[in-house]
């Protein structure tokens, strides 16, 4: 595990603590358990040596009984938190895992595509990969092929292009 940078922090939903990192990175995309470890956890760990605020929408108190409806206060709070954090983030990382459909992530990519702040990982095998590739190409969004390629893509967007 890399050493922790003094200006590195990970914020989980629904926290509103102030950012201390030089840049902020929202982790959007696949939420379904697909691998041994959650991709967000793996990426956040790899970024510990950078002066970043990593915004992880994972919510430890998530309850699957929450209705996906505007009248469900806790569900609405989560969705509004995610939208606000994506709007305020410097970088939004999307991961479209081939084992998932990720319709909400597609919606979120569409919402932020024109802002030009997304980095997209959409490996071969993702059902809607062609559509994601076309959107990324049209709006000049950076795409990467692997989880290992995300950190260098993020580093390029740091002041000076490095730590």
Strand ordering across the sheet containing 118-121:
9-12, 52-56, 23-29, 91-95, 118-121, 142-144
Pairing between β-strand 9-12 and β-strand 118-121 as defined by DSSP bridges: unpaired
**What is the distance between the terminal CA atoms of the chain, rounded to a whole angstrom?**
17
Domain ranges of the chain: 9-158
Give tens-digit pLDDT for 78-115.
999 999 999 999 999 999 999 999 999 999 999 999 99
DSSP label of 98: T
What's this model's pTM, rounded to 2 decimal places?
A: 0.94
Give tens-digit pLDDT for 37-79.
899 999 999 999 999 999 999 998 888 899 999 999 999 999 9
Q: What is the CATH number of domain 9-158?
A: 3.40.50.450
């Amino acid at each position: 595990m890399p050493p922790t940078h003094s200006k590195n922090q990970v914020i989980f939903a629904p926290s509103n603590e102030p950012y201390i990192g030089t840049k902020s990175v929202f982790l959007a995309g696949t939420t379904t358990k697909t691998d041994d470890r959650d991709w967000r956890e793996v990426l956040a760990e790899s970024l510990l040596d950078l002066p970043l605020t990593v915004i992880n929408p994972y919510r430890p108190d998530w309850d699957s009984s929450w209705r996906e409806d505007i009248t469900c206060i806790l569900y609405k709070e989560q969705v509004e938190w995610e939208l606000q954090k994506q709007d305020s983030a410097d970088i939004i990382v999307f991961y479209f895992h081939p084992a998932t459909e990720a319709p909400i992530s597609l919606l979120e990519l569409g919402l932020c595509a024109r802002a030009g702040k997304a980095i997209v990982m959409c490996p071969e095998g993702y059902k809607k990969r062609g559509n994601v590739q076309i959107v990324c190409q049209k709006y000049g969004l950076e795409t990467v092929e692997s989880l290992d390629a995300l950190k260098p893509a993020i580093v390029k967007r740091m002041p000076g292009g490095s730590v």
